[in-house]
């Protein structure tokens, strides 16, 4: 079975191996052991804090194959972007000019440097080892975060965003960076990507152009990738779009990857999830498959067969599932359909 759980200090080496595979552009998954250990320590501290308002927390999760104890993926949530340093985006907007004497109308788009997404919760650090991209593992790794958010909404902002990785090649070359960023930063895309995590981002404030970037002045190659996800990110983005995320006309300032957003209380896994008591734990369960999590601070989730009794707010799960999620009869679990309904069911937290 696959176990989605909180990252721990002893996971550092396994997460570092994943980081080495993820390529350029995954800013929040550093290929630096010391930085990675710092982020894991930050996550451990965040999980254990008593929270009344989202401030500067980071929740890092791993996906573990329990048969081999191998860590095969990571995902995370940052509670509030830009708490200690500005959170920069490019806002894509339209402008129009008229010259009535010449009967000419000019429509064009510009990119403006903004901090509009400051203070929002951000989905980040999603990476699944390529050979494990099957059997619903990607769904679990991405969507189990929403079960955690449904359980602890006070830890997050009302709006959730995801900055999707933009287009770059196997050598880390970004068409957008090569046409914009490198002229002002005088470094490669990979170098700028590393500095984003290793510094307080002051270099962005110091070097980024203040005036709007006129899209029509960029090369065709650069224009073509604005707002497009990296090919390896398309599946992850599709999962979020199915959750109700939508484009918000912001892009990443380095690789032009799209930013998408959704209100926390409208994310489909959140509104289709509900709490149930465990009525019985059986040797075998033949019900439908669900995303299922415990209801504890030591958060655990998986995909498992569950027999629901919505009228009695109860369910039956297997012994394997109970052991994996550390559950007993009478405990509460949160479940959400593995395949989302067209209309989300309201949360029923009567347990």
Token reading at 62: 């791993």
What distance in Å separates the CA atoms of residue 1 and residue 289, rounded to the nearest whole number?
13
CA pair distance 81, 305, nearest whole angstrom: 36
Kind and range of the H or E element at 194?
A: helix 189-198
The two structure tokens encoding residue 333: 């679990």
* Residues in CB range of 211: below 8 A, 6 or more apart: none
Q: Which helix (H) or strand (E) holds 162?
A: strand 159-163
Query: Beta strands 274-282 and 314-318: pairing type?
Result: parallel
Torsional class of 41: left (φ above 0), alpha (ψ -120 to 50), beta (otherwise): alpha
Q: Which helix (H) or strand (E) holds 17?
A: helix 12-21
Of 26, 261, 56, give the one whose Cα is nearest residue 161. Answer: 261
Which residues lie below 8 Å from residue 238, measured CB to CB, with a gap of 6+?
A: none
CA torsion sign, 6 to 8 to 10 to 11?
A: positive
**Rounded CA separation 180/136 (Å):** 38
CA–CA gap between residue 312 and residue 130 (Å, rounded): 41
**56, 100, 230, 339: the active-site residue:** 230
Per this entry, what is the length of the chain?
Answer: 351
Q: Is 230 a catalytic residue?
A: yes
Distance (Å, whole) CA 63 – CA 135: 13
Residues tagged active-site: 230
């Amino acid at each position: 079975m696959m176990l989605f759980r909180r990252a721990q200090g002893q996971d550092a080496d396994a997460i570092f191996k994943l980081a080495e595979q993820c390529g350029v552009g995954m800013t929040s998954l550093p290929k630096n052991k010391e930085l990675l250990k710092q982020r894991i320590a930050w996550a451990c501290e965040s999980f254990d804090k008593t929270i009344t308002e989202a401030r500067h927390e980071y929740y890092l999760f791993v996906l573990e194959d329990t048969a081999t104890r191998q860590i095969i993926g990571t995902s995370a949530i940052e509670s509030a972007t830009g708490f200690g340093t500005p959170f920069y985006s490019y806002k894509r907007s339209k402008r129009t000019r008229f010259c009535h004497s010449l009967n000419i109308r000019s429509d064009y788009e510009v990119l403006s440097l903004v901090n509009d997404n400051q203070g929002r919760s951000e989905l980040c650090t999603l990476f699944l080892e390529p050979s494990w991209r099957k059997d619903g593992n990607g769904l679990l790794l991405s969507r189990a975060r929403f079960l955690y958010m449904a359980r602890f909404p006070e830890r997050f902002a009302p709006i959730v965003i995801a900055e999707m990785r933009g287009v770059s090649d196997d050598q880390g070359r970004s068409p957008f960076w090569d046409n914009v960023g490198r002229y002002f930063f005088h470094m490669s895309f990979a170098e700028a990507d590393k500095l984003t995590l290793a510094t307080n981002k002051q270099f962005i404030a110091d070097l980024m152009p203040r005036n709007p970037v006129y899209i029509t002045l960029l090369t065709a190659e650069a224009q073509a990738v604005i707002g497009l996800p990296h090919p390896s990110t398309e599946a992850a983005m599709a999962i979020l779009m199915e959750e109700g995320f939508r484009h918000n006309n912001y892009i990443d300032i380095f690789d032009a990857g799209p930013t998408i957003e959704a209100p926390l209380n409208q994310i489909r896994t959140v509104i289709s999830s509900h709490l149930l008591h465990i009525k019985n734990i059986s040797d075998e369960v033949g019900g439908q498959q669900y995303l299922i999590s415990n209801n504890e601070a030591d958060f655990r989730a998986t995909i498992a067969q569950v027999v629901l009794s919505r009228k009695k707010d109860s369910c039956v799960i297997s012994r394997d599932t109970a052991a994996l999620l550390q559950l007993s009869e009478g405990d509460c679990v949160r479940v959400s359909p593995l395949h989302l309904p067209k209309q989300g069911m309201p949360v029923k937290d009567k347990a």
